[in-house]
């Protein structure tokens, strides 16, 4: 198997994500940091929902802008705000500083359509195959980096001063990524439509695909990572190192699944349905997981399922995106995903606090069953999607 046998845009974009994969250890580390600061589960959920609300307002506007400017600037801005957020976390002295840092991070993510716009251009020679590499490449570095960070931050550098210094280190490192994005990553130039129509009709098949994605995003937001982390730390008396071992299991599952399916090319809808089914199995296991071993098995299965579903789903989505409106439409889709998940973290925290700590995964299970039914409908209407029966 040749590694990255694709165009320079695709290769360098994947290299970017391999670097990202190391730095996003801050994602699982942030809830651990909050719980060490004595935040309650409900307070963490409220913080995540508040930040999500701030993010939604500007996402659609950024999508429109990406039809006019190179989306490399959008990618760079995500890292500018992400770097500032990590530095603020490291310097924070009270609750309001944490809120400020979270808002900075989410403001940066209003430019998240930049990712989809770049992928729409860089991956178009073979969406399905390149998206498989896109999934696998970052996990290769994450498989080794996360457990290393987890070990160091659990058993060596485990004071709050160390935690603050680590956030500052991550923030400063992100500025080097900005240089890579602006100087090394090939530009995706703006694409202006020559026909400036006021109305744009979105194909009906796209609505169905977007609906499935929105449901999946909502379910994932309810079964939030911070719920898992709280459960591991508080209910199972585990550590941040355990959290990173779960993340390593996720990485291993993705790598193995992609390697095994790269050349076999399973039928698009069938593979996606198998993926969703495995995610359903994961949600069932997480609804009662009595031990770390069950959590590891559940997340391994979920990652296999996600690896089967994601490249096929994203391929279907990109097929119906007109190039001249890709920024606006992808920005709108991102806005919808964020809109449906605004209240999810806070709701999940309330459900976990007042019913049962793993109850949010029951809600996620219901959304996954709905997505499976949607893909069943797509499978019965393959000609609409340009697929062979």
DSSP result, 12-79: HHHHHHHHHHHHTTHHHHHHHHHHHTT--HHHHHHHHHHHHHHHHHHHHHHHHHTTTS-HHHHHHHHH
Q: Looking at residue 190, what is its pLDDT?
A: 59
Alpha helices for the chain (secondary structure H)? 8-23, 26-36, 41-65, 71-91, 95-108, 113-122, 127-151, 160-183, 204-222, 225-230, 240-261, 268-286, 292-319, 326-340, 344-354, 359-380
According to the model, what pLDDT value does residue 200 have?
45
Query: What confidence score (pLDDT) does residue 301 get?
Result: 98
SS3 content of the chain, % helix, strand, coil (to 5): 80, 0, 20
Distance of CA 152 to the CA centre of its chain: 25
Q: What's the pLDDT tens digit per position in 72-128?
A: 988 999 999 999 999 999 999 888 899 999 999 988 887 887 888 888 888 988 888
Query: What is residue 270's predicted lDDT score, i.e. its pLDDT?
Result: 87
pTM for this predicted structure: 0.89
Taking 50 as the pLDDT cut, the residues of the chain under it are 1, 191-200
What pLDDT is attached to residue 156? 97
pLDDT at position 65 is 56
Q: What domains lie within the chain, and their CATH numbers?
A: 8-186+201-382 (1.20.1250.20)
What's residue 383's pLDDT? 67
386 CB-contact burial (10 Å; exposed 0-12 / middle 13-18 / buried 19+):
exposed
pLDDT at 68: 64
Sorted by sequence, the CB contacts under 8 Å of residue 144 that are 6+ apart come out as none
pLDDT given for residue 196 in this prediction = 39
| pLDDT for position 194 | 32
What would the two tokens of residue 362 be?
Answer: 């029951």
> What pLDDT does residue 192 have?
35
| Dist CA 103 CA 99 (whole Å) | 6
pLDDT at 2: 52
* The pLDDT of residue 198: 37
DSSP type of residue 186: P
Cβ–Cβ contacts within 10 Å for residue 34, how many?
22
**Which H or E run includes 179?**
helix 160-183
Identify the pLDDT of residue 164: 97
Say if residues 282 and 301 touch (Cβ distance below 8 Å): yes
Picking from 326, 11, 314, the residue whose alpha carbon sits closest to that of residue 186 is 11
Nearest to 227, CA basis, from 362, 349, 338, 341: 349
Contact 46, 349 (CB under 8 A): yes
Where do we find the tokens 């790269």? Answer: 262
Residues near 354 by beta carbon (within 8 Å), at least 6 away in sequence: none
Q: 188: which DSSP letter? A: -
């Amino acid at each position: 198997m040749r590694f990255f046998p694709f165009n320079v845009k695709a290769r360098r974009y994947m290299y970017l994500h391999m670097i990202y994969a190391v730095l996003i250890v801050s994602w699982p580390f942030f809830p651990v940091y909050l719980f060490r600061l004595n935040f309650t589960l409900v307070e963490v959920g409220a913080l995540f929902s508040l930040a999500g609300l701030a993010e939604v307002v500007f996402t659609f506007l950024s999508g429109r802008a990406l039809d006019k400017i190179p989306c490399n600037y959008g990618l760079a801005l995500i890292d500018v705000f992400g770097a500032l957020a990590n530095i603020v976390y490291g310097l924070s002295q009270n609750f309001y500083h944490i809120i400020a840092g979270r808002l900075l991070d989410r403001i940066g993510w209003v430019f998240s359509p930049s990712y989809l716009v770049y992928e729409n251009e860089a991956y178009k020679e073979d969406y399905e195959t390149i998206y498989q590499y896109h999934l696998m490449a970052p996990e290769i570095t994450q498989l080794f980096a996360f457990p290393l960070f987890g070990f160091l931050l659990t058993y060596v550098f485990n004071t709050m001063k160390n935690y603050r210094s680590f956030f500052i280190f991550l923030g400063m490192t992100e500025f080097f990524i900005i240089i890579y994005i602006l100087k090394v990553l090939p530009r995706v130039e703006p694409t202006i439509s020559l026909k400036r129509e006021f109305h744009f009709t979105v194909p009906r098949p796209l609505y169905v695909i977007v609906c499935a994605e929105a449901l999946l995003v909502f379910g994932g937001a309810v079964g939030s990572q911070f719920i898992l982390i709280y459960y591991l730390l508080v209910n199972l008396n585990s550590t941040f190192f355990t959290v990173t071992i779960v993340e390593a299991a996720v990485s291993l599952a993705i790598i193995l699944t992609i390697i095994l399916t790269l050349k076999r090319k399973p039928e698009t809808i069938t593979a996606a349905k198998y993926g969703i089914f495995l995610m359903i199995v994961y949600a069932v296991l997480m609804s009662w997981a009595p031990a770390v071993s069950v959590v590891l098995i559940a997340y391994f299965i979920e990652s296999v399922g996600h690896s089967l579903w994601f490249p096929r789903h994203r391929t279907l989505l990109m097929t119906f995106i007109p190039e001249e409106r890709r920024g606006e439409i992808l920005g709108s889709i991102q806005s919808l995903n964020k809109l449906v998940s605004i209240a999810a973290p806070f709701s999940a925290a309330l459900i976990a606090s007042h019913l049962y700590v793993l109850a949010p995964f029951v809600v996620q299970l219901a959304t996954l069953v709905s997505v499976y039914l949607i893909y069943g409908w797509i499978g019965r209407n393959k000609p609409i999607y340009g697929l062979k029966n």
